[in-house]
Structure 1
Amino acid sequence: MSKGKKIIAFIVVLLVIGGATFAGVYFTSMKGGDTAKVVVIEEITSEVGEVFVNLSDTDAKRYVKLKLSIGFDEKNKELTAEVEKKHAVIRDVVVHYFESCTVENLEAANEEALKSELIKRLNQKLTKGVILNVYITEKIVQ
C-alpha cells in the first residue's frame, strides 16, 4: 500500500471509531432520560404561633410582631410527631432568632436570607427530618 492510501485508511478508521463513540454516548444518554423520576413532596404546615419580641437595634426601641408557620414533608410521620413534641423548642429558636435581628434584617429585600437562616437553625434541633419552608403570615415592625 502506498503512503497516501495508508493515511486515508487511518482517517477512515478514526472516523468510524469517533462515530461509534458518539452514537454510544448519545443512545446511552437517551435511555437515562426515560428513567428519571420526579419526586413531589406534599407539604404540611404547623403553626409556630405569634411571636412578639424587641429587636436588637441600638438607635431606637423597636419590636416585631410575627405570625409564622413551618412547612415540612407530610409523609414523614416521625417528623410530624417530633415537631409537635418540640413545639416549645421551635418557638424558643424563633424567638431568639428574631431578637437578634434588626429592622434592616426584616426588610422585604432580605426576606429570603432571613427565612433560610431560620430554617437552618430550626433543622439543627430536629432529628427525624427537615423543615422545608417558613411562612410568615403576619408581620408588624415598629
Structure 2
Amino acid sequence: MAEEKKENKKGKNGILIVLLLLIFVGAGTFGGAYFFMSKNKASSPVIVQESFVEVGEIFVNLSDEGSKRYVKLNMSISYDKSNKDLAKEIEEKKVVIRDVAIFYIKSCKAKDFEPSNEVILKGELISRINQKLTTGVLKDIYISDIIVQ
C-alpha cells in the first residue's frame, strides 16, 4: 500500500511538471508574439518622396511586322528625392536614359502599349534604365501623352 502511494505521488508529480512546462512554454510564446507585434506596430511606414525628370517626347517606329506602326509619347521618370547623388547622375546620364528608352520602345509592338501590358512595359523599361545607374534606382515611369498608330 505504501508503494502504491509512492507510485501515485510520482504520477501526480509528473503530471504537475508537464503542466508547468506547458504553461511556461505557452507564456513564453505569448510574450514573444506580443513583443514582436508591438515592435512592428511601433515602426511607422517609410514614405519616400519622389522627384521627377522629364525624358521628353519619343517618336519611333514600332517593330510590328507587315505594317508601319509608330508610337509618340512623353515620358518622365521618378526617383527618391532624398538621393541627391542619383539626381545628379540622372541629369548627367539623361542622354543615356533617353537612348535606352528609345531603343527599348523601338523593339516593342503596338500590342505592348495596350493597358493590360502597361506594367510589363514600364517594368522592363525601369529595369533597363536602372542597369545604367550606379547611385540608386528609379521608382517609376510616367507617360503623360501617348499615340500609337
**Is the TM value for this pair above 0.5?**
yes
Cα deviation per residue 1:21-64 (whole Å; 9 max; x = unaligned)?
Answer: 22331332144124423211110110000000000011211000
- 1:131 maps to what in 2? 138
Secondary structure at 1:137's aligned position in 2?
Answer: strand
What percent of counterpart residues are identical?
46
Secondary structure at 1:32's aligned position in 2?
Answer: helix
The RMSD of aligned alpha carbons is 1.5
- 1:67 maps to what in 2? 74
Structure 1 segments (4+ residues) deviating >3 Å: none
Query: Distance between the aligned counterparts of 2:37 and 2:139, measured in 1?
Result: 32
Cα deviation per residue 1:91-118 (whole Å; 9 max; x = unaligned)?
Answer: 1001000000001111110001100000
- 1:92 maps to what in 2? 99
- 2:3 maps to what in 1? none
- 1:105 maps to what in 2? 112
Cα deviation per residue 1:45-91 (whole Å; 9 max; x = unaligned)?
Answer: 10000000000011211000010100011111111111111111011
TM-score, length-scaled by structure 2: 0.87
Matched, 1:49 2:49: no
- 1:5 maps to what in 2? 12
Query: Distance between the aligned counterparts of 1:111 and 1:45, measured in 2?
Result: 19
Higher Cα radius of gyration: 2
TM-score, length-scaled by structure 1: 0.92
> Structure 2: which 5+ runs fail to align?
1-5
> Structure 1: which 5+ runs fail to align?
none
One of 78, 83, 88 as aligned partner of 1:81: 88
One of 17, 20, 33 as aligned partner of 2:40: 33
